[in-house]
Structure 1
Amino acid sequence: MSDVESRSSKRRKLVKSSPVHASGKDRWILSYADFITLLFAFFVALYSLSLKNSDDEKRLKESLQGVFEAVQKSVKPINIGEPIVGEPKDAELIESIPIPQEAADVEEDQSSAVYALLSRLVEQQFSGLHQTGQIQVSESADWVSLEMKSALLFGTGEYELTNEAVALLIMVANVLKAYPSAVIVEGHTDNLPVNSPRIGNNWNLSSLRASSVVDELVYRGMNPAMVAPMGFASEHPKVRNTNDFARQQNRRVVIRISKRRADNLYDYLFK
C-alpha cells in the first residue's frame, strides 16, 4: 500500500470514529425547568387553598398569576418583613377616598388624597418596613414624597429591582394612576466609589436605579409623560457620610409627587 493510500485510510478511520454531534442533547434541561415551574405552581396552589379567612378561588388565581405572569426582577431577593402574596389590598384604599369632581377642589383634594393613600398604604401593608425606617412618606408645600432605602429595592451595587420592590411599586403605581400627577424619581447613593466596571460611578448607579423604578411604574400602567428619573449620586445626602449607618441612610430612592396640576412633566419643569 502506498503512503498516499495509507494516509487516506487513516483519515477515513478517524472520520468514522468521530462521534456524531448531538445538537439537541441538552434540550432536556428546558423540559426539566418547565417541570420544576409547574411543580412549584402546584404547591403554591395548595398553599393558597389552605389559607383561611379568605376567598380560596381569588387567592388561587392571584398566586398562580404571581408564578406565571409576575416579572421576576432579581434572583437574589432581599427578604424584609412579611412575604407578599398576590395583588395587595391597595384597591380598597383607593376606593375609600373619592376622586374629586369639582375643578376648583381638584388640586388641593388630590394632593391630600395621595398623601393619605400612601400613608395608609405604608402603615397597613408595610408597617414593619415603616417602623425600621426602610420606607417613609412625607410632604412639603409642593411635593408628596415616598422615600425607600436602596437595600429594600436593590442588591448591593445593583440596579435591578428585587421581588419585594416590584410588589411595593405595584401598589404605588395604582395610587399614581388613580391620582395622576407629575412625578420625579430620584436616585441617591453614598460617597463610596462603585466597585463595578460595568456601572462605573455613583452617577451611573443612581441614574440606573431611578430608571429601574420608573420602568416598573410605567410597566404597571403609569403615563410615561408624567414621570422621569433623576440621578444625584452622593451630592444630596440626608446626613454626613461618616459611618456605615449614615451611608445606609443616604442610599435611597425618592418618589416625589407634585401637588400642582400638570399635563406632562416636561412642561411642568421647563415651561
Structure 2
Amino acid sequence: MARKKKKNGGGGGSPAWMVTYSDMVTLLLTFFVLLLSMADINQIKFTKAIGSLRGALGVLDSKEYEDVLPLDLMAQQNNLNESLQRVYQNIKNRIDNLEVNENIKLVKDRGAVVLRLNDSLLFDSGETALKPRAAPLLREVAQLVRPLHLDMRVEGHTDNVPVSRPGISNWDISIERAVSVVKFLTSRDLLPPSRLSAAGYGDQRPLVRNDSPENRAKNRRVDFYLEQDEHYREQLPYLIDSREQYPF
C-alpha cells in the first residue's frame, strides 16, 4: 500500500500578520518622530515635566525636579519673576501717586500684572457699548500704562447667566466689550494700536464659583493684562502669549 506524501509546512519564519504589524509600528514611529522634529518645545516646561516623571518613577525625588533645569533657564525664570515684581511695584506706586480710581484693582495672574475693573464701571447690564462715565476711568488706565514698555491685552469676562437677547451668547458679550475698550483707547489716541489686543472668554475663566449674586458680580469684569513686548517673549518662551489665549 502506497504511503501518502506529507504536505510541505511552508518552512519557518514569522507569521504573515507580524510583518504587516511591524510595518505599521515603524510607520507610526516615523510619523511621531516627524511631529516632534517640527514641534516648538517649551524648554522649561519640558524639563520640568521630565523631572516630575522621574520623581514619579522613583528615579529622582519629585521635590527636586527644579534641580534638573539648566542654569541659564533657571536664571531666566528668576529674571522673569524679578521683572514681574518690578512692574507690579512700579504700577502700584503710580496708582498711589496719581490717586487713581479705587475701583481699579491691581493683581498678579497667570504670570502677568493685571488691572481689573468690574464690568458695571464700564457697561450697563448685557450691553457692549461703553457708558459715558467710563471715559475718565479708561483715561486713567491709559495714563498708567502709557509710560511702561508693555503691551496690553484687554480681556472680557462674564458670569454663567445666559444672555436674554436671542442669538447672543456670553462669548459675544465678552469679546465685544473688550473690542469696545480697545476702540476707545485707540480712537482717542490714548494708546497705540500696536500695543493693544482684545480677547473674550465668556464665563470660562471665573474668579470664584458662580453660586451667588455677589460671586457672579465678581466674575463679570474687564481685565487689562500687561505683558512684555514680543522680543522679550521670544527670549522667555514661557511668558504668556496672547496668541495662545484666544478662544477661537
**How far has the Cα of 1:143 moved from its partner?**
1.0
User: In structure 2, what residue type is equivalent to 1:119?
Assistant: K
Counterpart mapping for 1:180-259 below 5 A: 180-197=149-166, 200-219=168-187, 220-258=189-227
Matches of 1:270 and 1:152 in 2, distance apart?
27
**How far has the Cα of 1:113 moved from its partner?**
6.1
2:101 to 105, 108, 126: 126
Deviations 1:15-63 (A, max 9, x none): xxxxxxxxxxxxxxxxxxxxxxxxxxxxxxxxxxxxxxxxxxxxxxxxx
Q: Does 1:138 align with 2:111?
A: no
**How far has the Cα of 1:125 moved from its partner?**
2.7
Matches of 2:133 and 2:231 in 1, distance apart?
31
**Hey, what does 1:149 align to over in structure 2?**
118
TM-score (norm. length: structure 2): 0.54
Cα pair 1:122 1:136 within 8 Å, conserved: no
Matches of 2:147 and 2:193 in 1, distance apart?
15
**How far has the Cα of 1:111 moved from its partner?**
5.4
1:157 and 1:121, CA in 2 relative to 1: closer, same or farther beyond 3 A?
farther
Q: What's the C-alpha RMSD, in Å, of the aligned pairs?
A: 3.1
**How far has the Cα of 1:118 moved from its partner?**
3.6
**How far has the Cα of 1:164 moved from its partner?**
3.0
**Hey, what does 1:14 align to over in structure 2?**
none
Cα pair 2:94 2:144 within 8 Å, conserved: no
1:194 and 1:141, CA in 2 relative to 1: closer, same or farther beyond 3 A?
closer
Deviations 1:174-218 (A, max 9, x none): 332211312211110000111123x61101000011111111222
**Hey, what does 1:159 align to over in structure 2?**
128
1:269 and 1:156, CA in 2 relative to 1: closer, same or farther beyond 3 A?
closer
User: In structure 1, what residue type is equivalent to 2:170?
Assistant: N
Structure 2, unpaired ranges of 5+: 1-79
Structure index of larger Rg: 2
Deviations 1:209-253 (A, max 9, x none): 111111122223322122211110001111111111111011001
Q: Does 1:115 align with 2:88?
A: yes
Cα pair 2:100 2:140 within 8 Å, conserved: no
Matches of 2:215 and 2:196 in 1, distance apart?
29
**How far has the Cα of 1:254 moved from its partner?**
0.4
1:194 and 1:111, CA in 2 relative to 1: closer, same or farther beyond 3 A?
same
Cα pair 2:154 2:225 within 8 Å, conserved: yes
**How far has the Cα of 1:173 moved from its partner?**
1.4
TM-score (norm. length: structure 1): 0.50
Structure 1, unpaired ranges of 5+: 1-106, 130-134
Cα pair 2:178 2:199 within 8 Å, conserved: yes
Number of aligned residue pairs: give it: 157
